[in-house]
């Protein structure tokens, strides 16, 4: 409906004339205010009405219905000093839309046809409302009632309104596969198992404890989110001795996710799967820093013979991924992602792509970390990154709060089973949601501090939404990274405001419940986002009694909140030292 080559933009050079001087093809404004508006008409026909009057038939220059005006011959009017081809101006009438059944993805074009310089404005229907821009959300959406009113008033107001039903989609012959989530497993400061995690999130409990071991006694900060159960007691002793603590967490979480996905104990072969079509993708920063520290102590105390031959293989960050592959006999691949605190989320994203493009059919993905050690704690304290608050008033980790003063170190593991949708449906698997997309970016700002502009975070968010094949208006929930550091929370909040625009989207942050699980944070927080979509409930943000005014987000506080229905994408954010930004986009099923 925008102007075509047959109706090029007409130069406007206003010039006063009398009505009697007007001829067909003239572009006319009937009053001075119409010139300013602008409101112009093409004269399609003139007819003497009487010795004193003349009848002009007028049509909007970009198309529309004709109207007749009887004017005194001496009546002053304004012409644009440019004649138009009357035959090239279409005669159009906007049909009523009262009986049209609108559907999401329908489009409506609105063209102010009396303005020769106008361009068509298109609105797209999404989640029951009409949006001018599905990604930037700078304007409030309009309702079905508004669109029907536009059509009813169009001819009278000099507009042309057209409704375009959504196109019929044809099934693609080939292309990237859809990836779904079919299993979840977690070991966190709230306990062992996903049920303990989810129940603790909804109940508003936290798992942050005082470190009372002798080795922590001299530290300025002795609070951390630690797993309350010794993982060694949950594994065969011989196997546990060959795993570092992070790998122990990962194997326990992977076993739970494996069973939750409907597979049997033992692994791939016992479950009737081809081991070469299954992969592992786990994130870790260090994995388990205590092994290397312990080896160094033994070297100092007992000499070279006192150092275990397992020290090196148990020190590498890839130990968790390799132990999961060993435990479940997975031979397709065992990948490790190390990108600071974004590691777990990036590992999930990489697994999505490996399945999308046919490298594997199924993957266990997430993160595992065990870095609650004296040296790491002392280092974070030296950076003044750790919270100085105590346990007397609840969680010392206070995301987005006015009184936040730093993060709380933590440990754990979160593992998801990701699967090609056709593979999952062929075996009758229960599907939690779609692992729809992911996005990465780098701040290139500082080795530890976030870019205060939040531009890198915003880029990763937009890339995740676009990779999911969605729009910003589809975002219905954000599980924020929000470590409770002053600068980091504000950078993330600013980025989310920049992306979400005027939309109010419920945001929650889990580090008040768990502390910061480092490389495992992305895996555990992705599980929470999956369950939020699956159950339709947003957990509250623990530790935050009053949101910082500068945050400007709809942070869920106090009680769980029902997930809104006007969207289908949940985002899980993870950002790390050095400017690593990773965002996961999950889509609930059955709404789009």
Task: Provide the 8-state DSSP code for 125.
Answer: E
Strand partners, 126: 129
**Cα separations (Å) of 569 from 255, 468, 533, 536?**
28, 9, 8, 12
Strands (E), 60-188: 67-72, 76-83, 107-112, 121-126, 129-131, 159-164, 179-188
DSSP bridge pairs for 337: 283
- Quick one: tokens of 233? 């007691």
Asked if residues 164 and 106 have their Cβ atoms less than 8 Å apart, the reply is: yes
Q: Which of 131, 477, 516, 580 is catalytic?
A: 516
Q: Mind giving me the DSSP string for 399-465?
A: TTBTT---B-BBEEEEEEEEEEHHHHHHTT----EEEEEEEEEE--S-SSSPPTT-HHHHHHHHHHH
Sign of CA dihedral 453, 457, 460, 464: negative
Residue 376: how many other CB atoms lie within 10 Å = 19
Which own/partner contact pairs does 443-447 have at CB distance under 8 Å and 24+ positions apart?
443/578, 443/579, 443/581, 444/579, 445/579, 446/579, 447/577, 447/578
User: For residue 213, what are the contacts with CB-CB under 8 A and spacing of at least 6?
Assistant: none
Beta bridge partners, 110, equal 121, 161
What lies within 8 Å, CB to CB, of 524 at 6+ separation is 186, 188, 197, 344, 366, 367, 412, 413, 414, 510, 514, 517
Among all chains, which residue has been given the structure tokens 């042309």? 160
Is 329 assigned a catalytic role?
no
Q: Which of 137, 206, 341, 433 is catalytic?
A: 341
Residues contacting 99, CB < 8 A, separation 6+: none
486 CB neighbour count, 10 Å cutoff: 12
The phi, psi pair for 300, rounded to 5°, reads: -70, -40
Residue 7: how many CB atoms within 10 A of its CB? 18
CA dist 476 and 41 (Å) reads 45
How far, in Å, CA of 524 to CA of 367, rounded? 8
DSSP state of 111: E
Torsion of CA 66, 67, 73, 77, to 10 degrees: -80
Rounded to whole angstroms, the Cα distance separating 398 from 541 reads 8
Asked if 481 is an active-site residue, the reply is yes
How many Å is the maximal CA-CA distance in the chain?
121
Residue 470: exposure state from Cβ atoms within 10 A (0-12, 13-18, ≥19) = buried
Q: Which residues contact 352 (CB under 8 A, 6 or more apart)?
A: 179, 365, 418, 435, 437, 438
Reply yes or no on whether 341 is catalytic. Answer: yes
Q: How far apart are CA 367 and CA 184, in angstroms?
A: 12
Question: Looking at the annotation, which residues are catalytic?
Answer: 341, 481, 516
């Amino acid at each position: 409906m925008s102007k075509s080559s047959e109706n090029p933009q007409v130069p406007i050079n206003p010039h006063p004339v009398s009505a009697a001087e007007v001829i067909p093809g003239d572009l006319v404004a009937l009053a001075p205010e119409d010139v300013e508006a602008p409101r112009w008409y093409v004269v399609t026909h003139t007819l003497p009405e009487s010795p004193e009057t003349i009848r002009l038939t007028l049509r909007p220059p970009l198309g529309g219905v004709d109207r007749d005006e009887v004017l005194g011959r001496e009546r002053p009017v304004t012409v644009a000093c440019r004649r138009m081809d009357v035959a090239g101006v279409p005669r159009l009438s906007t049909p009523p839309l009262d009986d049209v059944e609108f559907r999401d993805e329908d489009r409506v074009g609105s063209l102010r046809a009396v303005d020769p310089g106008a361009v068509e404005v298109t609105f797209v229907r999404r989640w029951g409302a009409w949006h001018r821009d599905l990604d930037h959300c700078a304007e409030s959406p309009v309702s079905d009632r508004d669109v029907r009113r536009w059509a009813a008033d169009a001819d009278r107001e000099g507009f042309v309104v057209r409704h375009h039903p959504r196109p019929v989609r044809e099934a693609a012959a080939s292309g990237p596969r859809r990836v779904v989530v079919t299993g979840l497993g977690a070991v966190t400061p709230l306990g062992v198992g996903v049920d303990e995690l989810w129940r603790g999130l909804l109940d508003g409990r936290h798992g942050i404890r005082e470190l009372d071991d002798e080795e922590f006694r001299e530290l300025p900060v002795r609070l951390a989110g630690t797993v309350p159960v010794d993982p060694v007691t949950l594994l065969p002793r011989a196997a546990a001795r060959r795993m570092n603590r992070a790998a122990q967490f990962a194997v326990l979480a992977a076993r739970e996710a494996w069973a939750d996905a409907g597979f049997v104990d033992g692994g791939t072969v016992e479950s009737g799967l081809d081991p070469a079509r299954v992969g592992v993708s786990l994130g870790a920063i260090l994995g388990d820093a205590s092994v290397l520290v312990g080896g160094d102590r033994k070297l100092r105390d007992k000499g070279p013979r006192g150092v275990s031959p397992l020290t090196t293989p148990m020190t590498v960050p890839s130990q968790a991924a390799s132990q999961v592959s060993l435990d479940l006999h997975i031979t397709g691949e065992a990948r490790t992602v190390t990108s600071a605190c974004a590691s777990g989320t990036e590992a999930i994203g990489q697994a999505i792509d490996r399945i999308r493009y046919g490298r594997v059919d199924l993957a266990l993905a997430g993160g595992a970390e065990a870095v609650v050690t004296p040296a790491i704690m002392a280092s974070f304290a030296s950076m003044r990154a750790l919270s100085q608050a105590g346990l007397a008033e609840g969680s010392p980790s206070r995301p987005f709060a006015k009184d936040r003063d730093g993060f709380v170190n933590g440990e754990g593991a979160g593992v998801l089973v990701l699967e090609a949708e056709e593979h999952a449906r062929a075996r009758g698997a229960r599907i939690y949601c779609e692992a729809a997309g992911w996005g990465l970016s780098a701040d290139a700002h500082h080795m530890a501090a976030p870019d205060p502009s939040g531009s890198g975070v915003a880029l990763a968010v937009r890339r995740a939404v676009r990779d999911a094949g969605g729009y910003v208006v589809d975002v219905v929930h954000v599980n924020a990274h929000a470590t409770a550091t002053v600068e980091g929370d504000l950078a993330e909040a600013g980025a989310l405001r920049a992306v979400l625009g005027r939309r109010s989207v419920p945001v929650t942050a889990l580090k008040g419940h768990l502390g910061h699980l480092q490389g495992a944070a992305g895996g555990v927080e992705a599980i929470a986002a999956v369950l939020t979509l699956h159950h339709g409930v947003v957990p509250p943000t623990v530790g935050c009694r009053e949101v910082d005014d500068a945050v400007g987000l709809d942070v869920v506080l106090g009680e769980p909140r029902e997930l809104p229905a006007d969207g289908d994408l949940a985002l899980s954010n993870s950002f790390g030292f050095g400017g690593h930004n990773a965002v996961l986009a999950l889509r609930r099923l059955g709404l789009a």
